[in-house]
Structure 1
Amino acid sequence: MVIKVVKNLVSQEKYSLKCPNPMVPEYITIHNTANDASAKNEISYMKNNTSSTSYHFAVDDIQVIQGLPLNRNAWHTGDGKDGPGNRKSIGVEICYSKSGGAKYYAAEKLAIKFVAQLLKERGWGIDRVRKHQDWSGKYCPHRILDEGRWDEVKAAIADELSKIGGKSSASSGSGTTYTVKKGDTLSAIAKEHRVSVANLQSWNNIKDPNKITVGQKLKLKGSSTSSTKPSSKKTSYPLPSGVIKVTSPMTKGTNVRQVQNALAALYFYPDKGAKNNGIDGVYGPKTANAVKRFQSVNGLTADGVYGPKTKAKIESLLK
């Protein structure tokens, strides 16, 4: 049975605030709301407030309501004005997430069916589904994450997709290559496929990460005969010892730049709109926030302070 979508679209007068950019979607991002409102109230609030925060659909236990056209972007993933989450993904909010209970689980069940329907309509597979956390590190969808059920939810979407005759995956071949599309950046491709920019450069002999071309095929895995990469990767991002925080005397210089470069390799930095991608050797609020997001995602105390535990975790992920 096709799920009917009720449209209650934002007015074109508010496009500049809520959905200013044309979009050809490539992903679906799942969120949990921070309250217990219905889909009708969620969309009404999103449309009429003065915040830029926006999303395409809200799903409750009864219905799916659309608030933005699918050919416009939404500000819902926190990965910046040019981030692939904000610029290339359809935002789906699951209602009644704050308190949970029967209404929430009914809403989640309907959302699973609806996301599968969206995937089938576009000929996509489950590989196109993301959680908010994947884009910016924010702990969302919070209820699903709290209950440790993200893999279960994805499996349920995949199962529903199979039942309605959709593709198991939109990817072709072995998944070891990627063809560059218009608007792609190396950092976005690296983030999507869970590899580092440094490895993509090495595997594809790319000297300048800003110079990739539409149609170019990129290797997403290194040669199995290469045994030097793990150790060289770590030495490519030397990390300082000691503690660095916004009020620290070490808030400027090479030590900070080393931290910023390492965070960039793990997708928590940089700012693509800034000079040199925002890697400036200054441990200000932006860098502290990147550290905080890294800590939050990796089970550390999210205080924005670079110290021995954060250093050790970064190094373990860069091996």
Structure 2
Amino acid sequence: MTITVKKNLVSEAKYALKCPNYMDAEYITIHNTANDASAANEISYMIGNTSSTSFHFAVDDKEVRQGIPTNRNAWHTGDGKNGTGNRKSIGVEICYSKSGGRKYKAAEKLAFKFVAQLLKERGWGIDRVRKHQDWNGKYCPHRILSEGRWEQVKAAIAAELERIGGKKASSPAKTGTKISGATYTVRNGDALSVIAQKTGVSMATLQSLNGIKNPNLIKVGQVLKLTGSSTSSTKPSNKRTSYALPSGIYKVTSPMRKGDDIRRIQNALASLYFYPDKGAKNNGIDGVYGPKTANAVKRFQSVNGLTADGIYGPKTKAKIEEKLK
């Protein structure tokens, strides 16, 4: 079913302030809002104030609102008047991002469907999706980044795009990609999943060849090997299946359940980048099935078509094992 967009477009009298340039878009940029306003309120405030800051769409738990025409640029990525993000990308804000919770999760789900719809309409693949951070380094979409879910977000959008019959990837020639020899130099706006699609080298192989533990931490200008031997600092990908995940049902209880079985669950989730706890001892692997572990399970479930209840059971076990292969 096509998602209907409710338009509340900025007046042409404000084009000079909010969207002064014609745009033939090449990308879609995802943002998290810094408040808990609805889509209608986000757009109304944006088009009514005297700041130049602007964006094309806001998505909440119930609807999609548009404030800037998609053939006009918007000032939403902070990379300057001639920056690719500002001049060549469609800005999509996900509402209720400050506090999270039920409304945010629903808004995020609708946003994924809407972004997939935009991609299909333009004949684009998931390689055209960017996060705000890719353009100017700002920590945005902040909620998604703080939860270590960017790659999972892209996977969810890609799955929705495939479901509605869209393309898996755009032509490298259209995105201006230049690939030569056995290396690839990371460009502004690249993500590891995008590089995998551009080069035909899987993410797992790219990580293994280049010692990349966290795919969210690649840097512009970094030279990645596309062929050769794995670095000594990265475990071979076939070892990711050695967690011997436990059977049974695990959930938050009082007192909280502890043990090596839970460590195996946590390690498996960490391997799939759903259990990052930067700065914590042992990456937060503590063998306790508490709120932190339940939240990681819930996030994994939410992007893999499972009931997002934070309870580890047979279906979640099977899906984790599938993703680890």
State the distance in 1 between where 2:191 and 2:161 align: 24
State the SS of the aligned residue for 1:158.
Answer: helix
State the distance in 1 between where 2:97 and 2:21 align: 29
Where does 1:18-29 land on structure 2 (aligned, <5 Å)? Answer: 18-29=18-29
The Cα shift of 1:112 comes to 0.2
| 2:272 aligned partner | none
Question: Equivalent of 1:190, from 173, 187, 195?
Answer: 187
| 1:69 aligned partner | 69
State the distance in 2 between where 1:15 and 1:71 align: 12
| 1:105 aligned partner | 105
The unaligned stretches of length 5 or more in structure 1 are 180-188, 196-218, 221-262, 267-298, 301-319
TM-score, length-normalised on structure 1?
A: 0.57
Where does 1:1-319 land on structure 2 (aligned, <5 Å)? Answer: 1-172=1-172, 177-178=177-178, 190-193=187-190
State the distance in 2 between where 1:102 and 1:170 align: 33
| 1:38–1:194 CA distance, 2 compared to 1 (3 A) | closer
State the SS of the aligned residue for 2:31.
Answer: strand
Q: Give the number of aligned pairs.
A: 195
| 1:171–1:18 CA distance, 2 compared to 1 (3 A) | same
Amino acid at match of 2:24: V
| 1:232 aligned partner | none
The percentage of counterpart residues that share the same residue type is 73
Summarize deviations over 1:252-294 as a string: whole Å, max 9, x none. xxxxxxxxxxx9967xxxxxxxxxxxxxxxxxxxxxxxxxxxx
Amino acid at match of 2:131: K
Alignment root-mean-square deviation, CA: 2.9
Amino acid at match of 1:88: K
After superposing on structure 2, the runs of 4+ consecutive aligned residues of structure 1 that deviate more than 3 Å are 175-179, 192-195, 263-266
State the distance in 2 between where 1:27 and 1:160 align: 17
State the distance in 2 between where 1:54 and 1:31 align: 12
Greater shift after overlay, 143-152 or 52-61? 143-152
The unaligned stretches of length 5 or more in structure 2 are 180-185, 193-197, 200-218, 223-277, 280-325
The Cα shift of 1:191 comes to 1.8
State the distance in 1 between where 2:56 and 2:12 align: 14
| 1:38–1:124 CA distance, 2 compared to 1 (3 A) | same
State the SS of the aligned residue for 2:29.
Answer: strand
State the distance in 1 between where 2:177 and 2:8 align: 40
State the distance in 2 between where 1:119 and 1:178 align: 22
